[in-house]
Amino acid sequence: MSKPVIYYYFLSPPSRAVKIFVDAAGIDAEVKTISIMKGEHRGEAYLAVNSTGKLPFLKEGDFGLPEAGAILAYLADTQPGIPEHWYPKDARARARVNSALTWHGSTLRNGSVTLLSTHVLEPVMGAPAREEVTQQHALPTLKAALKDLETYWLAATDYVAGEQVSIADLLLATEVEELRLQDFGGKEPGYESLLADYPKVRAWLARLASELGSAYTRLHDAIPVAGAKILKAIKDKNQPLDVDAIDSIV
């Protein structure tokens, strides 16, 4: 079997989930950075690999696989020596992991992406404010997802699918960690205030950082560094964005 090749970018939460798993589980894979900041995901070379242009993507010989949840599950199933807690073989335990992977896209990611777009990215780039979308869709969707994370997924266990970390934790946590970019919107809610009412979520993130170490923290500590550089370049129209400096953060 060919060594898997992972295409990713550190400012993409689903990409980070796959990269963290590769590093934390010691998977023998080649990881290739596709810079979204440089538009490489729309370039001819990457589109020849993955015609959707989306990240992350797995390539293994003539086999290609999109979508972070599917990639995480495939790696857990096919790579040697992966501890079972990452993706349990027990039918019910695995079903709970699969359920969390599915829940991520329809709720948590929906709210997170929309809020960051309408509350941070569009305003700092000079686009017209879409406060109605922020208040009527993005914030309610995200807050409902964070409440579910607190009161359902983490209600009785340390991790979303049980008492040990799984691939589902990585996909959900990277989405929550992306909310650090909220601090660059210049107005509330920022990252801390968004999580203020969810002590179990905050404890879960701290637990993941402690258990997974630099495989987890290095990528997430890079988010505010990148955010500050991007915001500075946007505000200072005489100072072009140094994309190479951003890509070299990690």
> Which CATH number is associated with domain 5-83?
3.40.30.10
* Residue extents of the structural domains in the chain: 5-83, 91-245
* pLDDT tens sequence for the chain (250 residues): 689 999 999 999 999 999 999 999 999 999 999 999 899 999 999 999 999 999 999 999 999 999 999 999 999 999 999 999 999 999 999 999 999 999 998 899 999 999 888 877 777 666 777 878 888 888 999 999 999 999 999 999 999 999 999 999 999 999 999 999 988 877 788 899 999 999 999 999 999 999 999 999 999 999 999 988 888 877 776 677 788 988 999 9
In three state form, how does the secondary structure of the chain look?
CCCCEEEECCCCHHHHHHHHHHHHCCCCCEEEECCCCCCHHHCHHHHHHCCCCCCCEEEECCEEEECHHHHHHHHHHHCCCCCHHHCCCCHHHHHHHHHHHHHHHHHHHHHHHHHHHHHHHHHHCCCCCCHHHHHHHHHHHHHHHHHHHHHHHCCCCCECCECCCCHHHHHHHHHHHHHHHHHHCCCCCCHHHHHCCCHHHHHHHHHHHHHHCHHHHHHHHHHHHHHHHHHHHHHCCCCCCCHHHHHCCC
* Architecture of domain 91-245 in this structure: Up-down Bundle (1.20)
| 91-245 matches 5-83 in CATH topology | no
